[in-house]
A and B are shown apart, each in its own frame.
Chain A
């Protein structure tokens, strides 16, 4: 089957070298009110050699982390079928499981594995979708598992899953006075981290291109900030801004052609756009106040940014065509670093109230504002491509860690790292 073949090639290309280095570990701290009970049965396997990963366990962890599902513990399962013909639906009704995921793994002659899976509805006693399978090599078991999680999530919620996405983040390790900065890329669940760049000078503001193949970031060199664009696959890097003063906050336009950035070459921080192909720079704001932290609206027509032109920092919207600016946020002592959900409905900001910095969500239709977090010194919010979750940086037990909150504020989890500070998360788009 053509589809299957393409997918297996895709997974072969998405190889990461698994590393024994410390990685981010998930700690779920709160979930939604109504959790959907689901059983992910260990996948059947008739081979002799050990499998590299427990697919069912990864799928179960993905679904649990979304905060919408309540997985049935394996130890409670009365049977462990791997094909529909072997399923006794009453076993799962007894366990009050609404859905069951089953699957089987078969070793193919070419060092590949065929992973078949099925989602079953316990109430209707029928499969939710037809049995399907993917072929992967041993090192792509995690990709296969996230693919299955995405399918199950989409079938049951109607929203595309974001388990196959990745995150960029910066770590500062070693001696606090002279740390080693590393820009890393990992799976959305924190597994398989890989260092993209490391430097003794600070790295910040990583940002994905819309196809997920390139990144932009700020890195100091010779004690001055520069903006780089880098291809993830090859490491090929391009220095795109090294003006006098600030070179900061790069943000890719939705069409991938431009980069919004902050320069202070004309005296104070202003928003510019850079046409990547022509290198043409266009100044977008003109104000003696600080203008920074640009982020494109999903349709590319507007850029939201932080400005203290009104006295204290608030979020403003810049119309890309007319360059007209209007204020967007009015609640809280200040609002900074805005990001918009992919549907354009909500604006996520860092809001300060009574000295506390939290992640806030503003409904762009009604103007209603909700504080999503109660952690300490929250910053750098980044939204999952399906708009369900916000990853952000916070301080926990004196250390910088990443945390996640759902846009409804109900689901929360942390991704602490074993060593060093973690900051500046950036959630990837879907990989097309």
Chain B
């Protein structure tokens, strides 16, 4: 550690501490985002961000609280009771035969309601690494998406999202829990 480097860091650290001490509101600079599709444009009122001025004492970090509310329910009677969760084999993204009947009903509804939009949320079990599981969850969601588009659903009606292993529904560390977590959930927007 050289003396000059130390001094430089000290100055940066000081000003950083000063800034932290003075700011008590969120400084979310999303202006430079490179997002390209309108769908993901941020809506400020859907997120409750709070940055605490944790720096009164010159602390290194400040806290940002992130709460997103995202639930939608469009009461669709013709789909009442139709399965919305579809399961997969380990490390596989093949749509199981027993899923077909329910998927056909979703396809039928979407074809007859061209304004309806769905999000297919793919999930993986806890085994394997997290980002690889993000990719695996997406692959499963895309498998369902392909199945629906073959039935005539417009690709523009479907969005695929992966949660990887981050949002399990069963919490054991055994094959039963893993089976329940390897899934795609159909969510109407």
Q: Interface residues, chain A, CB within 8 Å of chain B?
A: 2-3, 6-7, 9-10, 12-17, 139, 176-177, 185, 194-202, 204-205, 213, 219-226, 230-246, 248-249, 262, 264-265, 268-269, 274, 279, 281, 290, 292-293, 306, 313, 334, 336-337, 350, 352, 357, 376-377, 379-380, 395, 398, 423-424, 431-432
Contact = CB atoms under 8 A, between A and B. Distances in A.
Contact of B35 (A242, A377, A379): A242
B6 interface: yes
B163 A220 contact: yes
Contacts of B20: 233-235
Top 7 closest pairs, chain A to chain B, by CB: A13-B13, A235-B62, A233-B16, A199-B66, A202-B166, A9-B10, A6-B6
Interface of B: 1, 3, 5-7, 9-10, 12-14, 16-17, 19-20, 23, 26-30, 32-37, 39-40, 42-43, 46-47, 51, 54-55, 57-68, 70, 119, 121, 126-132, 134-136, 138-139, 142, 159-164, 166-167, 169, 171, 173, 187
Contact of A395 (B35, B66, B173): B173
B30 A248 contact: no
Contact of B128 (A14, A223, A357, A432): A357
Contacts of B7: 6, 9
Contacts of A236: 27, 29
20 contacts: A9-B7, A12-B14, A15-B17, A16-B60, A197-B66, A213-B12, A222-B68, A223-B121, A225-B161, A226-B40, A236-B27, A237-B26, A239-B28, A242-B42, A248-B134, A306-B129, A334-B128, A336-B129, A379-B128, A395-B173
B163 A202 contact: yes
A336 B58 contact: no
Contacts of B119: 223
B6 A7 contact: yes
A13 B16 CA distance: 8
A289 B56 CA distance: 49
Nearest to A15: B58
Contacts of A352: 128
A306 B132 contact: yes
A325 to B, nearest CB: 17
A302 to B, nearest CB: 19
Contact of A220 (B33, B68, B130): B68
